[in-house]
Structure 1
Amino acid sequence: MLDHREHCRRCAAGPADGRAAAPGWAAPRGYANGILTEFQAGSRLIFVGGQIGWNGQCEFESDDFAEQTAQALRNVIAVLEQGGARAEHIARMTWYVKDKAEYVAAYPAIGKHYREIIGRHFPAMTAVEVADLIEPRARVEIEVTAVVPPAA
């Protein structure tokens, strides 16, 4: 298992457009330490409440961590679309996971699902291990804040 320092040493140098980075810091991989966004007149904020890995009928189709993550990400996108937003409008994500070891073990599959659903957009992101989630079968819960420009 990689610790945060080792993870950062493996990161490529240089932030992508829109990412805020401190001079001399290694570039994070799969997330941003900060996002710089210009809030214009007519821009909208969308706050997506915590989405878990169940479908639109509130039914779990899997207990697998990576599969629940994929469904939670699809749910996030569905809510964003209702507000006229897309994945690239996400400014920040917070992930609540019940088991850090399970989350870390699922990194490769989570990354694959993330790229398929969100693409190569990496917002400011925080992951937190929690004692439990309200829904007993939920393995992960994801909340998002998006900034939608006036033209979108």
Structure 2
Amino acid sequence: MAEQSPHEFLNPKGWKPAVGYANGVAARGKMVFLGGHIGWNGQQEFETDDFAGQVRQTLDNIVTVLAEAGGRPEHIVRLTWYVTSKREYLDGMREVGRAYRDTIGKHFPAMALVQVVALVEDRAKVEIEATAVIPD
């Protein structure tokens, strides 16, 4: 049996349900804030220039750092994605979705995605900030 989410997902009455993200999340517990992570490994080396591959590595990095606080993917309440190409994101949706489900599961917190001109690391195609709340 699947574990019930420790958070309350907010979708106002009369609004169409959010697809692939939550309109809002209410949570109580230990707050964990993760700075922007990119698609390189723990040694700060890129293993791919593939967009979906960098997304997968970025999400893996988030899950790994979150585990240091005793958290799991279902404790994530917010993700902010910064991408250098909206087109690459949209064209790679199937692979990005697979990477997301493999890493985070079927947990869809409040999310935003913003296209930016560039990221500090020239090879980075995506940077993701995360906020998690680990239940008391």
TM-score bracket, normalised by the shorter chain, equals over 0.9
Shift of 1:134: 0.3
TM-score, with length taken from structure 2: 0.93
Q: Does 1:23 align with 2:13?
A: yes
Amino acid at match of 1:147: V
Q: What 5-or-longer segments of structure 2 have no aligned partner?
A: 1-6
Q: Residue 35 of structure 2 is aligned with which of 42, 45, 49?
A: 49
In structure 2, the residue matched to 1:123 is 109
Q: What 5-or-longer segments of structure 1 have no aligned partner?
A: 1-16
In structure 2, the residue matched to 1:112 is 98
Runs of 4+ in 1 over 2 A off after TM superposition: none
Higher strand residue share: 2
Q: Residue 77 of structure 1 is aligned with which of 39, 59, 63?
A: 63
Aligned length: 130
Q: Distance in 1 between matches of 2:18 and 2:10?
A: 11
Residues 47-91 of structure 1, C-alpha deviation per residue, up to 9 Å, x if partnerless?
011110000110100000000000000000000000110001001
TM-score, with length taken from structure 1: 0.83
Helix, strand or coil at the partner of 2:9: coil
Residues 2-56 of structure 1, C-alpha deviation per residue, up to 9 Å, x if partnerless?
xxxxxxxxxxxxxxx721012221112111111122x2xxx21110111100001
Residues 103-144 of structure 1, C-alpha deviation per residue, up to 9 Å, x if partnerless?
111111110110110001110000000111000000000010
Q: Distance in 2 between matches of 1:44 and 1:82?
A: 13
Q: Does 1:103 align with 2:99?
A: no
Pairwise CA RMSD: 1.0
Helix, strand or coil at the partner of 1:113: helix
